[in-house]
Amino acid sequence: MNALAATSRNFRHAARLLGLDSKLEKSLLIPFREIKVECTIPMDDGSLASFVGFRVQHDNARGPMKGGIRYHPEVDPDEVNALAQLMTWKTAVAAVPYGGAKGGIGCSPGELSRSELERLTRVFTQKIHDLIGTHTDVPAPDMGTNAQTMAWMLDEYSKFHGHSPAVVTGKPIDLGGSLGRDAATGRGVMYATEALLGEYGKSISGSTFVIQGLGNVGSWAAQLIHERGGKIIALGDVTGSIRNQAGIDIPALMKHRDDGGALKDFHGAEVIDSAELLVHDCDVLVPCALGGVLNKDNAPDVKAKFIIEGANHPTDPEADEILAKKGVIVLPDIYANSGGVIVSYFEWVQNIQGFMWDEEKVNNELEKYMSSAFQHIKAMCRSLDCNLRMGAFTLGGTYLVYN
């Protein structure tokens, strides 16, 4: 099941639990605006190349629309639409005054030079600049993009509208970015894990973890979980998967990776088949890579007791049903990885006020928001006798419809 179908299915289930009128339910699934643009740029070798860019603005009932820009070869309208929907529910669950949006360009960023990426970003911004804005739609980094991408977007947007630091978040600190933003999603995953384990009388310290994906989210989650005493026994990324039952030395692994080493070449662990990673025996599985990695084929073999969805839509609905029957507790993406959008909101507020926070304040406020959202999700679960995913979707739906 693709991401759009899965997201729509989850919301329809939540809408039935809330007793929403069918017309209202349908209206909440229809995006506010869908944008498709052709971005043609000169390549370094003198040739021309064209890339397709998308921006889906899903809902602005609660405030400006908010969502990342991803650069990935598999970016398509259905995926962007689904992720824009998820952002609507995610911002509502996190209680930040935004609606949902998402964007992306179908490209392989690793195959483009820095100058080609800059030209592509600037052309994309030229095509959508009149549809985004500080109080309209605020982009942020996502897969394949980073603070530098946001700096290019901000600069290009400012050519048309004047200096507008709050038009994007996830910027470099010198351009108005927030301290703590780079680690925010991974830190939010850690806070979410603490909240869930605490409900079951457990803690990060002493629990065993498997993490799939070592991008921004997975890397920070691994480092912060390690700092809290969690034992990470297996990890995987696009270069391979490794395990060490005694616990992987995360600081040493990060140094190895930062020095250009592949995961499979790290000497502090043994290489395993990547297909084994998601079904490895552990207390907590944290998928932080692409969507749809847990499906009806591998869900029966999952041995983790808890799953923390650091990625967007890592669990298909069919897998959800199988995992529920097995008694596996799944903490859904629209809560678990909301740390990034929460700190993006903090950055936006700082830009508008012209008053910057220190990192301690950012992290403390993030912990408060994550803790509060978890308690509200649990209250919905108790009220509607549902699982955490439906608790999160119904909470988001409640905020969207009744607030």
Can you say which residues are annotated as belonging to the binding site for NAD(+)?
185, 216
Residue of 102, 171, 231, 305 marked catalytic? 102
Only one residue has tokens 């605490």, namely 198
Residues 6+ apart with CB under 8 A from 145: 68, 69, 70, 71, 109
Whether 127 sits among the annotated catalytic residues: the reply is no
CA nearest 335: which of 138, 92, 100? Answer: 92
Strands 208-212 and 231-237: parallel
The alpha carbon of 357 is separated from its chain's Cα centroid by a whole number of angstroms, namely 23
Question: Binding site residues for substrate, as ranges?
Answer: 66, 90, 344
Q: How far is CA 311 from CA 14, 186, 331, 350, in A?
A: 21, 10, 11, 27
Question: Binding site residues, as ranges?
Answer: 66, 90, 185, 216, 344
Q: Using an 8 Å Cβ cutoff, are 351 and 361 in contact? A: no
Angle at 378 between CA 341 and CA 288, to 5 degrees: 40
Q: Alpha-carbon distance 363 to 350, whole Å?
A: 14
Q: How far is CA 283 from CA 154, 202, 329, in A?
A: 42, 10, 11
Q: Alpha-carbon distance 338 to 369, whole Å?
A: 10
Residues 6+ apart with CB under 8 A from 126: 156
CA nearest 176: which of 325, 7, 354? Answer: 354
CA nearest 344: which of 62, 173, 140? Answer: 140
Q: How far is CA 96 from CA 31, 85, 148, 311, 331, in A?
A: 19, 15, 25, 20, 20
Report, as residue numbers or ranges, the catalytic residues.
Answer: 102
